[in-house]
Structure 1
Amino acid sequence: MTEYHVVDTPSEYSRAVEALRAGTGPVGVDAERASGFRYSQRAYLIQMFRRDAGVFLFDPPALGDLTALQDAVGDVPWILHAASQDLACLREVGLDPATIFDTELGARLLGFPRVGLATIVQELLGIHLAKEHSAADWSTRPLPAPWLTYAALDVELLVDLMEAEQELLLKDEKQEIAAQEFAFELSRSPKPARNEPWRRLSGVHSIRGLRNLAVARELWHARDELARSKDIAPGRLLPDASITAVAKTLPGSKRELAALREFTGRASRTEIDRWWDAVSRGRTTDDLPVLRSSGESIPPPRAWPDRNPEASERLRAARAAVNARAEELRMPVENLLSPETLRRLAWSPPETVDESTITAAMQEADARPWQVRATAGIVAAAFVEAGQSPVEPPESAS
């Protein structure tokens, strides 16, 4: 078995960069973070493989500046699996590909029901790929040898996997579709930060009362500040379930807070003053949150029959049409057209509905050209048909 080691010194780094520069063909790339352990989403290990060069495992915190690596392979096509998960942390250390091939996205476009790396490698290459260290704490130093082997195999097979998928994409006449999707993935802007990120707290929808929500908000912010300062995943300090339990209970003293059975976590007692201060702020603040966050979001479709029955009928008809087209193309419906795009179109369609106006609306929503060609006509037809269909009005309150 090959023994792998981490490139973490300037001399090893220089040799690795030159070896990759002299290699041939595209570069397989992966990054390992410490999600669930660290607050940051930085890369703690970056793996690269290129034919005629081999596998190299880079330690970004130890190496610092990776400009030479970017210069060596930045213009070479990169192969990643689930690129959207790794591009941000790669860019954070100055590594940014010019073009990519995403083997996970390729598998989706090919209609594979399961697209995890191990599953696709088994399916297309006939090789069993163990994934037992995928949730490890990659900030650990030194990294155990079995972890390094796992990390190396994650990139060593990517070139072969890409070539297998390229053959199938060509056979299915989906190579242009894939090219558009890869280009979009590479150019897509990060989602803007939420105005009220605390509302993503697990279980927040079960909290009733504005005062209770205020306590949840203050605890979330206190936890986030501590987690950021210590670079520890927030949930390891104080679980979401603890915050929601406190918010529902509204303890009246520090003693009651400490005695709450659901109040757990490694920092629940050592930082009890911090948490009690947050609870006190929430209990006394005049800045109460609204029950639901304001914004441009539309209601969930289950509420549409009462709130906007015409939109509900449009969505029902268009979903059926888009689902049928996805089956024809043998790909997941969410890859054919974003469900959010379809919902927004159904809720607020163009004033005049036809293929050209739906096309324009889809393009404004960042639908790719192939998606527009595949769906604009059938969505427009579904909307028109739904508008001509009788819609039962909501029952009156009388």
Structure 2
Amino acid sequence: MTESSHLIDTQDQLKEFLPALRKTDWVGLDTEADSLHSYPEKLCLLQISIPGKDVLIDPLSSLDISPLFEALNKKELLMHGSDNDLRLMYAANKFVPDRIFDTMWAARVLGFTAFGLNDLLSKLIGITLDKGSQKANWTRRPLTEKMKLYALNDSLHLRSLADLLKTELKTKARLSWHQQICERLIEEHSSNRQLDLDQAWRLKGSSKLTRRSLAILKETWHWREQEAVKANKPPYFIVRHEDLVRLAETVIDRDTKTVWPHKLSTRRFNSLREAVGQALDLDSDNCPEIPQVNRRRIKASEKKLYESLKEIRDKQAEELKIDPTLIASRSTLVKLSLEDGEEKEKILPWQRNLLNL
């Protein structure tokens, strides 16, 4: 950690830092959120490393962080496992980076089987990080010194790591593959993610429920969402997914005692009973439909194409010494083999080339 490392939580401190940020072409960046402790999730901390400076920026203070994101525009952001970081920054300030270099994906493209940040730093640089604050409550203020050190370590070594990986990507002629992956990451995660309320409540295990039980599940799922926001706790900590499904299943089963979730307060239990009652009062026609799975028979020609694509994929992966699913997962191969599918246009150019498509 450099001597100038510190926590920025005032506008004057941010203003003082921004000129140095504007001068650099690259930024090592990581974020911390509160998904294990709050609901909905929010950006709690930004860790930034540039030449000679490593800082923590506190978006939970009264700080206006929009000048920070303006300064980050057009920089190359060095990140590790960037998907959630991109989502958090977009949610916080509609920020869409110009370009990123994701060290996790670089490692995967190079064939590393252990590609966590600690794994890579240990193997390539000989550094082992303390991960003791991994599940810390990042809404906590003031941050402890241990939390600060943990957070800064996640951005501190990204430049050294990225340089090593980029050199190897160039040597193996895979840099363009990685660039395509990073562009797709920005496209998919730096955007509005609208929750599909018609599907979000259809939890694992609900596919066998009756229409009335589906109505109960839908109503109680919305109840749980409201309770989670009120309590500022993740929904799973209010009532587990499987307990909602079990409740929906047993309420109308005359041969089974209704299985209510355990350890609910009187207020919460009564409001849950009301939600169940509203679902029971629904007209049958207004109950959710049971999802229909339309399966058609796979043609012989499609099966033959699938086997051919799998053989090509596996051979390429073995020669390149990379995970075959990087080229195409099993589900992707199935979709590519369907004559009426559009999967070919969805995979990346380097993947199409390796599959001879």
- TM-score when normalising by structure 1: 0.78
Q: Secondary structure at the match of 1:28?
A: strand
**Residue 13 (structure 2) pairs with residue 8 (structure 1):** no
**Residue 350 (structure 2) pairs with residue 370 (structure 1):** yes
Counterpart position of 2:78: 79
Alignment-mate amino acid for residue 171 of structure 1: T
Counterpart position of 1:148: 148
Q: Which has the higher contact order (CA 8 A, sep 6+)?
A: 2
Task: State the distance in 1 between where 2:32 and 2:182 align.
Answer: 21
Alignment-mate amino acid for residue 243 of structure 1: L
Counterpart position of 1:137: 137
- TM-score when normalising by structure 2: 0.87
How far apart are residue 162 of structure 1 and its match?
A: 0.2
Counterpart position of 2:101: 101
Task: State the distance in 1 between where 2:64 and 2:134 align.
Answer: 26
Alignment-mate amino acid for residue 271 of structure 1: R
Aligned residues: 347
Unaligned runs of 5+ residues in structure 1 are 351-360, 378-398
**Residue 195 (structure 2) pairs with residue 193 (structure 1):** yes
Task: State the distance in 1 between where 2:266 and 2:128 align.
Answer: 45
Task: State the distance in 2 between where 1:249 and 1:63 align.
Answer: 48
Counterpart position of 1:223: 224
Counterpart contact for 1:78–1:97, Cα < 8 Å = yes
Q: Render the CA deviation track for 1:293-335: whole Å, top value 9, x for unaligned.
A: 67xxx75xxxx8xx32534454344223222222222222232
Task: State the distance in 2 between where 1:227 and 1:316 align.
Answer: 47
Counterpart contact for 1:203–1:240, Cα < 8 Å = no
Task: State the distance in 1 between where 2:354 and 2:224 align.
Answer: 46
Are the structure 2 counterparts of residues 188 and 239 from structure 1 closer, same or farther at C-alpha, using a change threshold of 3 Å?
closer
How far apart are residue 273 of structure 1 and its match?
A: 1.8
Are the structure 2 counterparts of residues 336 and 223 from structure 1 closer, same or farther at C-alpha, using a change threshold of 3 Å?
same
Counterpart position of 1:279: 276
Alignment-mate amino acid for residue 274 of structure 1: S
Counterpart position of 1:391: none
Are the structure 2 counterparts of residues 230 and 309 from structure 1 closer, same or farther at C-alpha, using a change threshold of 3 Å?
same
Equivalent residue runs for 1:58-73 within 5 Å: 58-73=57-72
Q: Secondary structure at the match of 2:27?
A: strand
Task: State the distance in 2 between where 1:333 and 1:110 align.
Answer: 12
Counterpart position of 1:357: none
Q: Render the CA deviation track for 1:203-234: whole Å, top value 9, x for unaligned.
A: 434x5333222212211111112223443211
**Residue 244 (structure 2) pairs with residue 263 (structure 1):** no
Q: Considering only aligned residues, what root-mean-square deviation do their CA atoms show, in Å?
A: 2.8
How far apart are residue 264 of structure 1 and its match?
A: 2.9
Are the structure 2 counterparts of residues 48 and 309 from structure 1 closer, same or farther at C-alpha, using a change threshold of 3 Å?
same
How far apart are residue 183 of structure 1 and its match?
A: 2.0
Alignment-mate amino acid for residue 201 of structure 2: W
How far apart are residue 36 of structure 1 and its match?
A: 2.5
Task: State the distance in 2 between where 1:76 and 1:63 align.
Answer: 25
Alignment-mate amino acid for residue 13 of structure 1: L
How far apart are residue 371 of structure 1 and its match?
A: 1.7
Task: State the distance in 2 between where 1:320 and 1:270 align.
Answer: 59
How far apart are residue 175 of structure 1 and its match?
A: 1.3
Task: State the distance in 1 between where 2:128 and 2:22 align.
Answer: 30
Q: Secondary structure at the match of 1:197?
A: coil
Unaligned runs of 5+ residues in structure 2 are none
Are the structure 2 counterparts of residues 21 and 109 from structure 1 closer, same or farther at C-alpha, using a change threshold of 3 Å?
same
Q: Render the CA deviation track for 1:179-223: whole Å, top value 9, x for unaligned.
A: 222222223365653331111x24434x53332222122111111
Counterpart position of 1:387: none
Q: Secondary structure at the match of 1:184?
A: helix
Q: Secondary structure at the match of 1:100?
A: strand
